[in-house]
A and B are shown apart, each in its own frame.
Chain A
Amino acid sequence: MIEIRNLTKRFGTLTAVDDLSFRVSPGEVLGFLGPNGAGKSTTMKMVTGFLPPTSGTATVCGHDILAAPADAKAAIGYLPEGAPLYPDMTPRQMLRFVGEARGMGGARLAERMETVTELVELGHVMNQRIETLSKGFKRRVGLALAILHDPEVLVLDEPTDGLDPNQKHQVRDLIRSMAAGKVIVLSTHILEEVEAVCTRAIIVSEGQLRFDGTPRELRERSRFAGAVEVTVPKEHADAASASLGAMDAAAGIELIEATGEEARITVFPGEHAKGALLVAVQEAAAASSWSLSSISVDRGRMDDVFRTVTTASAGA
């Protein structure tokens, strides 16, 4: 369990984290979102005890990071941004070093080293100097270090940054497989990642909380949620937009001239028509002279909400 209470960090005149409070319970995988410079990394650095807060505090598994930093740090596995490692060591030496620094030794360390090596698939590079490894392997070594002591709390700062799609997939599988009973907080720029692994999403901007909910709620906040998107042959575009725009169920339409032979029209649902819109569009198409090439219901777009939530305040 992580509990963050009124956490604030100022660098000179810049307020990086501004009175942030939230809690994360075991079993939750929290996606920590926000634009660059929103205070994500700064928050993580404070929770892991690297950076002292200007005011406020956080407790990790009941240990206050200011009053009992060693106990709090012992409960956390942390992957810092960019996964910094000692280039002149091998993954094996690195794991042994971190394990010993965490007070592990003997059979337990050997067993955990074997387990995490298998989990992140480091096997054949274990005795190679880290400076010779690819970015993907370095990130995996960083992850192995974070999970080595089987921590109750995992804090991962951009765990999939710089990985290829297969490696991303692997890391997400790994995170999902560890989620039971643990508190996992990960920051990311990739919104689809939130949907893929997180049970909860938080958006911060300018150091303040802007959204807190499930990925589904985040998506449904989008103005596209429930909208129906149709494509029609280009020559039917005008007729189609006229009849779709006139429907009772539609609040408005947006016509996008697609390249090639087809035009795309997005129909936004009216106040109470979310469920009925699809049927209404199909009926409108059947009753008129234009023909439908494709039709789909938009489940809502995270990037749309992300933009709205994080730019609204900047403009105001």
Chain B
Amino acid sequence: MRGIITIFKRELVGYFSTPVAYVFLVIFLLVAGGFTWKLGGYYDANQADLAPFFSWHPWVYLALIPALSMRLWAEERRSGTVELLMTLPISAAQAVIGKFLAAWAFTGVALALTATHWWTVNYLGDPDNGVIAASYIGSLLMAGAFIAVGSALSAITKNQVIAFVLTFVVSLLFVLAGFPAVTDFFQGFAPAWLVDAIRNMSFLERFGAITRGVIEARDAVFFLSVIALFLFFTTTTIELKKAD
């Protein structure tokens, strides 16, 4: 536990000691806000809820989280600091979890800063705050899944650009898994259970279910399982490849 906390603190302070944090926060807020109020048709819908706001989150994360997660391990391996880190009495799993939690907490800060939208809809109308709270929790869970994927893919390379591209592509697959274009493609040859399984892997479907207002255990468990699985991949990769 001590190891996780130490790594978590270092990483989180690290985000704010470089321009990365501020660039990320500003772009996140601009994009999330711009999409909602302009492209999301918030005013046209004439409805006091945040559904248009949350509907953009998977896409915003898809674009921004690979940029955040790419340096998690690739940078450590390129600069050799992974040797410093892994010869401290901290296990690889503790380091992986600490780094993940810091990135997740950072995304949580970005998300918390969008609370102005929440305040706005409450000022303008009478939204269902339960739905909004559920959506925020769902969004945070989904962000965690994106970061965990990014963490695993950052661990397999020393090159941040490669980490970015791989994370983007794999995340895109997770987002798109529920799209008709994808399921139709698999329907052509795959058995029904596999098509169902692929659809069930979709971040979009899972997140959509949560933003409709109910956090069902299986949706939360899905995101938490994705996080656990990819953090396990990260740990294994780091243990095997740290010295390459």
Contact = CB atoms under 8 A, between A and B. Distances in A.
A41 to B, nearest CB: 10
Given A45-B243, A89-B17, A80 B89 contact: no
Contact of B81 (A71, A84, A101): A84
B83 interface: yes
A87 B79 contact: yes
B84 interface: yes
B80 A82 contact: yes
- Most chain B beta carbons < 10 A, residue from A50, A51, A93: A50
A98 B84 CA distance: 9
B47 interface: no
Given A86-B14, A86-B81, A88-B14, A101 B243 contact: no
A43 to B, nearest CB: 13
Nearest to A98: B88
Contacts, number: 64
B3 interface: yes
A85 interface: yes
Chain A interface size range: 20 to 34
Contacts of B17: 88-89
B51 interface: no
A98 B89 CA distance: 10
B84 to A, nearest CB: 5
Contact of B87 (A71, A78, A81, A103): A78
Ranked nearest first, the 8 interchain pairs of A and B with the lowest CB-CB distance are: A84-B80, A73-B89, A80-B83, A74-B89, A101-B88, A84-B81, A100-B6, A70-B89
30 contacts: A45-B83, A48-B87, A49-B86, A50-B86, A50-B87, A50-B242, A70-B91, A73-B87, A73-B89, A80-B84, A81-B80, A84-B81, A84-B83, A84-B84, A85-B84, A86-B10, A86-B14, A87-B79, A89-B10, A93-B13, A97-B10, A98-B84, A100-B9, A101-B7, A101-B88, A101-B89, A102-B88, A102-B89, A103-B2, A145-B84
